[in-house]
């Protein structure tokens, strides 16, 4: 008989088995506890290990369910708060990822717009900078990596 089977038998008999700082705690009718006393003593460490494994599995299940729920909530909020993309007027890709859609984000109190790719989120440019319209070129002029700076000025 395995410790798991003994645990099931004890529980079916109406006993409650738990771990304390001192070891095992068995609660239930005294007469039933007396019937199982020797078997519990003989398999004490196996019972402790089985209960720890049950607790770990329960905690792991709850952690995974919490994590799955958190991922679901984040996904829902991202979808709900995702701004609608606008298509480029000429249907030409505006980003190296090949997307023709962009999202404009107002900045500087609405005086400027930051344009990002609607598909990958890559920065495309500033079509409006402190009230001044600016031309934005296609994906061939998009920055290709971190740290690229303009030379000259």
- Confidence grade of residue 83 (pLDDT, cut at 50, 70, 90): low
Report residue 24 as tokens. 């095992």
> In whole angstroms, what is the distance from residue 90 CA to residue 137 CA?
12
| Structure confidence at residue 79 as a pLDDT band (50, 70, 90) | low
From CA 74, how far away is CA 127, in angstroms rounded?
A: 30
Res 48 pLDDT > 60: yes
Q: Could you tell me the pTM of the whole model?
A: 0.46
Assign 10 a pLDDT band (cuts: 50, 70, 90): very high
Is 90 exceeded by the pLDDT of residue 56?
yes
Largest CA distance in the chain: 92
Burial of 66 (0-12, 13-18, 19+ CB in 10 A): exposed
Q: What is the SS3 assignment for 35?
A: helix
Give the model's pLDDT for residue 82.
60
Cβ-contact 133, 153 below 8 angstroms: no
Which residues does 150 contact at the CB level (< 8 Å), separation at least 6?
A: none
Mean per-residue pLDDT for 43-69? 92
Q: Tell me: pLDDT of 143 over 70.
A: no
């Amino acid at each position: 008989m395995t410790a798991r089977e003994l645990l099931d038998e004890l529980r079916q008999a109406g006993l409650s088995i738990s771990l304390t700082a001192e070891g095992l705690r068995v609660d239930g009718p005294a007469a039933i506890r007396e019937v199982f006393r020797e078997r519990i003593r003989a398999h004490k460490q196996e019972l402790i290990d089985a209960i720890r494994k049950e607790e770990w599995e329960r905690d792991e299940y709850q952690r995974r369910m919490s994590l799955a729920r958190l991922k679901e909530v984040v996904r829902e909020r991202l979808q709900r708060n995702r701004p609608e993309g606008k298509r480029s007027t000429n249907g030409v890709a505006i980003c190296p990822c090949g997307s023709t859609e962009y999202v404009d984000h107002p900045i500087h109190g609405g005086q400027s717009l930051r344009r990002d790719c609607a598909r990958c989120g890559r920065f495309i440019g500033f079509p409006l900078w402190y009230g001044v319209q600016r031309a934005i070129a296609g994906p061939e002029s998009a920055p290709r990596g971190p740290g690229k700076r303009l030379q000259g000025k």
